[in-house]
Amino acid sequence: MSVERSFDRAIDKMIRHNWDCIYVMVDVHDTMIKASYSDKETFEWFPQAKETLRLLSDMRMVKLILWTSTYRDKIDKYISAFKDEGIKFDFINVNTETTNNDLSCFDEKTYFNVGIDDKFGFDAEHDWGPLYDYLVEAIRLDRIK
């Protein structure tokens, strides 16, 4: 399934259930930036990743979750670098707004509506551009804010 289709399904569900937002989980390495596999991070962004993440950051109905197995000291550097690029994450590796209910326990599994991760099949080299175009069109159609 394409990430655009995942967004369509999440938005439809949000509208159906009258939710205020959707949660979008985004991986760092080999999804936003190219992994350096060393202590020195290059911050070599994939094409249109920054622009798309800025757009998502500005949407009232989207909450971004940074999804990474990186050590905490590096996460702080990432958050600072992303902020400098106009990209704001609401959570890091968790979603504190979702609580357990009769059906679901979120003690060990973070709730999200859309996952953007190379391990989910997202091709960072090619998928950011179509996602950006999809989001711009969804905004134009007033489907997403």
* Per-residue model confidence as pLDDT tens digits over 85-142: 999 999 999 998 888 888 888 887 899 999 999 999 999 999 999 999 999 999 998 8
* Per-residue model confidence as pLDDT tens digits over 32-72: 999 887 777 778 999 999 999 999 999 999 999 999 998 88
Distance CA 19, CA 13 (A): 8
Strands 114-116 and 62-67: unpaired
The answer, as to whether pTM is greater than 0.85, is: yes
Res. 77: pLDDT tops 80: yes
Q: Please give the distance of CA 94 from its chain centroid, rounded to a whole number.
A: 12
The per-residue pLDDT for 11 is 95
User: Which structural domains are found in the chain, ordered by start?
Assistant: 3-140 (3.40.50.1000)
Backbone angles phi, psi at 29, to 5 degrees: -75, 130
Give the DSSP letter of residue 65: E
For the chain, the maximum distance between any two Cα atoms, rounded to a whole number of angstroms, is 45
- 85 burial level (CB within 10 Å; 0-12, 13-18, 19+): middle
